[in-house]
Chain A
Amino acid sequence: MPRVSMTVNGRAVTGDVEGRTLLVQFLRENLHLTGTHVGCDTSQCGACVVHVNGESVKSCTMLALQADGTEVATIEGLAQNGSLHPVQEAFREHHGLQCGFCTPGMVMSAVDLLKKNPNPDEGEIREWLEGNICRCTGYHNIVKAIQSAAANMKG
């Protein structure tokens, strides 16, 4: 089996994978980082969004081998020294999650949005989230949370 090496949440990791192993499988099954979820089999739902070299990526659309040598960030690495990232904090503050299953992907996606566009309006947020499906919240409070996080990150 081929060997893959990458940095995940700042830690160098390496593992033997099959050619067909997806990045999300490597994260969940090899590294036991189960915060990244699998919600579909067509790369539609976005529950598996992580950052690869700083860009949000659906980790079910990428082979583990394609991520060789990259820097990967998952939901487990977002809070620093026990304090939540402002986006995580805003999701908590504004009830942007219910069952929590889509949440890691939503949060990772939102972090990337605010990096690219620190002042998104409601329409821009809704458009950005097109690739992340939530069945619980109706998106209302997710949008509010991201708006609030944007304001807090500027402050």
Chain B
Amino acid sequence: MPDTGIGASVKRKEDFRFLTGQGRYTDDIDRPGQLFAYFVRSPHAYAKIKKVDTAEAAKAPGVRAVFTGADMAADSVGSLPCGWVVTDRHGEAHKAPPHFPLARDKVRYVGDHVAVVIAETYAQAKEAGERVEVDYEELQAIANPVKALDKGAPQVHDEAPGNLCYDWVLGDEAEVNAAFAKAAHVTKVDLVNNRLIPNAMEPRAAIGEYDGGTDSYTLYSTSQNPHLLKLILCAFVLGISENKLRVIAPDVGGGFGSKIFCYAEETVCTWAAKKVRAPVKWTAERSESFSSDAHGRDHVTHAELAMDENGKFLGMKVETIANLGAYLSSFATSVPTYLYATLLAGQYTTPVIFANVKSVFTNTAPVDAYRGAGRPEATYVVERLVEVAAREMKLDPAEIRRRNFIQPDQFPYQTPVALQYDIGNYGASMDKALEMIDYAGFPARKKASEAKGKLRGIGFSAYIEACGIAPSAVVGSLGAGVGLWESAQVRFNATGTVSIFTGSHSHGQGHETTFSQLVAETLGIPIENVEIVHGDTGSIPMGMGTYGSRSLAVGGSAIAKACDKIIEKSKKIAAHLMEASVEDVEFEGGKFRVAGTDKEKSIAEIAFTAYVPHNYPPDLEPGLDETAFYDPLNFTYPAGVHIAEVEIDPSTGVTEIVDWVAVDDFGKVINPMVVEGQVHGGIAQGVGQALLENAVYDMDSGQLLTGSYMDYCMPRADDLPSFRVGMTQTACTHNPLGVKGCGEAGAIAAPAATINAITDALGILSMDMPATAEKVWRLANQHAQAAE
């Protein structure tokens, strides 16, 4: 194995600065003369704004300005758009009520933005914020997504009657009904996919800056996709010419989806910078993150699976109500539709599937993509259904899955829910996972646990996901407002070092290392000579950013393509220098050679020649600097099997995860260490959802009850085990690297594996997440209680 090339666990280049306190996150940046913004937020879930009196606040010490929705309206600031149009079952576009950065007539969730106070210090701004007098007329809120659809429920938006954003279907209902009519057995489940708060450890932050001399803006922001943020702000919200806004997303401390979106705060900071003629900085307090970062999940689902007498799946029906919160976040509409229902085939040959999704508005924070985005919800539905089916049919859970797996010779496989899987070997992952967990030994382990008074259970999750998003034409036909290609620029410097400019953005994924490995190996240069530049629209080509596990599959493919262009041009220069024809020049290990001779030139020599072209092909441009754009041909389909083993203490209800095996097929792997780290983190978030995390709103008042780390249970080190990670490999067939995407897999697989294990231990069919100790204790003791 090479030391620094593809396949090596190279230690990360970015770690030195993070380990020595030299990372540079948005809040670490101070701009000369900067002021601080404090947002006055709604304490009510739903209220009319009768009057906002800012006079007292404006007079407070240090205050430079106070703005409200009326000020932004006067400047014709637009609504924060949702960039994906979902067409409902009647052919109509989803309901898109306006979402103004500062509320204009009503506030619609606790934390909604009412005014901004800008002062010389943050403390001054915050104190003055207390003096902004808002006269609210409270309205009855609706927080429950199911009740939001009831007749007579409070209406969140006039533009969305019945609180319905869309009623959407996928699949042929008649065919599915016909399949159910023939079934020997139908398994039914009712599931709640609990609402989560993403909680990247770095709170969101923004610094807006305006340069009057050039009439241009700079925005520092905690963004996963600075170009996309720039595009939205310029084209839809602020009306700034796109060449007059530079967005810089420096080191970003985790995102998990929550930093994809265009939020009110960065919009206001950018706009206000011109109003006050000074940089305007805002950093979220954690309580603001809880109340106003886009949340994740929040589905209520009824699902049915029809089977023949052998447990072969004949058809599936899924009905989901998805809570989108009070306003549509940037990509909210796509998550419970195209990122969810399209994955309901899972790893199985279920021939017909019908899904109906009703997405609703409620008086809660907006909901959008969070690690996995729709795919964890789909996997939870499929893998809970399959598990319950196995128990009802008295089939081994591994066996029922095997009987229904798509087989290796069936690829490419067209599912009944739009996607075409390119490649996979699901049985291989199952075999390996069973071996790693020692499935045969489970009954003995269960017995040993029983002897200690503990309940032991085992749970499977055979997940699949569609990532590496996405072919632009495909997503365009489904309603996406953007293309989902990626860009890369490979710039050789005259002295032989290389600068890579990528549209992908790293906020923990380790691109500086992985992309460097890719470039070092492709161009045959030392990894130390490669520098990865990302996150600044002022220096990188237009790019789409990082989400949907796309950075390597799409961004890495763009880098590979740009490297190919570099090699192609270099061959012409090498041929000229070595007086050979281009066709005779071969490239390997950083050297250009003339076939059959001992003539050679290093790529560094070629780069020097390209910039000092004294002896140079007459018809060739100087320079060695190539840009490539890569638009994927399909999604990639990572898949695998996770098996959780749990032990429950029935006297306390505490669930301990005693073993966790993850076997994933991510295609080719550049840096196994980084990939395993992504798997660990994903599992932790999935286990967090299954055991601990739950965003709770008071259903009557719409108050967020879990608004801090005191109330929202984050997974801590002592809640989790060490994980055992294995891999299988089928190379992706349609990108040049054969890679798939690993960032979300753990979060997608883990909830179903955990709940399947706990319900197995308890000897029940179902329970809702999170499986807190109290809930588990009640279930473990319900028979005893009933007997009393």
Contacts and interface: CB of A to CB of B under 8 A. Distances in A.
Interface of A: 18, 20, 28, 33-42, 44-45, 47, 74-76, 78-79, 84, 88, 91-93, 95, 97-104, 107, 122-123, 125-127, 129-130, 132-144
B145 to A, nearest CB: 26
Contacts of B715: 138
Contacts of A136: 201, 254, 508, 677, 681
Interface of B: 11-12, 14-25, 27-28, 123, 199-203, 251-254, 256, 283, 285-287, 507-510, 673-674, 676-677, 680-685, 708-710, 714-718, 720, 722-723, 746
A35 B710 CA distance: 25
Nearest to A78: B20
B681 A135 contact: yes
Contact of A126 (B682, B718, B723): B718
Contact of B20 (A88, A122, A130, A141): A88
A122 B203 CA distance: 30
A129 B714 CA distance: 13
A33 B17 CA distance: 13
B201 A33 contact: no
Contact of A130 (B24, B202, B253, B717): B717
A99 B23 CA distance: 10
B717 A132 contact: yes
A134 B201 contact: yes
Contact of B18 (A18, A41, A97, A129): A97
A98 B681 contact: yes
A104 B685 CA distance: 21
A74 B21 contact: yes
B708 A41 contact: yes
B201 A47 contact: yes
B251 A100 contact: yes
Given A39-B203, A41-B708, A130-B716, A92 B722 contact: no
A100 B684 contact: no
A79 to B, nearest CB: 5
Chain B interface, >50% SS class: loop
Contacts, number: 179
Nearest to B199: A135
Given A42-B710, A103-B19, A135 B200 contact: yes
A49 to B, nearest CB: 12
Most buried by A among B201, B283, B510, B720: B201
Contacts of B17: 100
Most buried by A among B17, B23, B24, B714: B23
B684 A41 contact: no
A44 B28 CA distance: 21
25 contacts: A34-B21, A38-B27, A40-B708, A45-B709, A78-B20, A92-B19, A97-B19, A99-B251, A99-B507, A101-B25, A107-B19, A129-B716, A132-B717, A133-B709, A133-B714, A135-B681, A135-B685, A138-B680, A138-B681, A138-B685, A138-B723, A140-B677, A140-B720, A140-B722, A143-B717
B288 to A, nearest CB: 9
Nearest to B711: A42
Ordered nearest first, which 4 A-B pairs have the shortest CB separation?
A35-B21, A101-B253, A100-B18, A138-B684
Given A44-B709, A129-B718, A143-B717, A101 B21 contact: no
Given A137-B681, A138-B720, A98 B509 contact: yes
Contacts of A141: 677, 680
B549 to A, nearest CB: 14
B709 A40 contact: yes
Nearest to B510: A98
Contacts of A84: 16, 19-20
B25 to A, nearest CB: 7
Contacts of B681: 98, 135-138
A135 B677 contact: no
A142 B25 CA distance: 21
Contacts of A144: 722
Nearest to A128: B717
A76 B254 contact: no
B21 A95 contact: no
Contacts of A104: 21
Most buried by B among A99, A103, A133: A99
A14 B324 CA distance: 50
B132 to A, nearest CB: 21
Given A98-B254, A130-B718, A139-B680, 15 more contacts: A20-B123, A34-B21, A41-B286, A41-B287, A44-B714, A88-B20, A91-B15, A92-B12, A95-B12, A123-B718, A126-B718, A129-B718, A132-B717, A139-B716, A140-B684
B720 A98 contact: no
A75 B15 CA distance: 13
Most buried by B among A44, A95, A129: A95
Contacts of A79: 19-20
A36 B21 contact: yes
Contacts of B14: 100
Contact of A95 (B27, B674, B710): B674
Given A75-B21, A135-B201, A136-B681, A143 B722 contact: yes
A34 B28 contact: yes
Contacts of A44: 708-710, 714
Nearest to B718: A126
A20 B684 CA distance: 36
Given A44-B709, A100-B508, A102-B201, A133 B12 contact: no
B714 A140 contact: no
Contacts of B682: 138
Contacts of A137: 677, 680-681, 684
Nearest to B15: A92
Contacts of A37: 25, 201-202, 253
Nearest to B709: A44
A97 B673 CA distance: 11
Nearest to A105: B201
A78 B12 CA distance: 19
Nearest to B285: A41
B291 to A, nearest CB: 12
B200 A99 contact: yes
A139 B684 contact: yes
A74 B200 CA distance: 23
B531 to A, nearest CB: 18
Given A98-B677, A101-B254, A76 B201 contact: no
A104 B201 CA distance: 12
Given A42-B708, A76-B20, A101-B202, A138 B508 contact: no
A38 B283 CA distance: 10
A47 B201 CA distance: 8
Nearest to B677: A95
B574 to A, nearest CB: 38
Nearest to A131: B716
A129 to B, nearest CB: 4
Given A98-B254, A130-B717, A140 B680 contact: yes
Given A40-B708, A42-B708, A44-B709, A75 B20 contact: yes
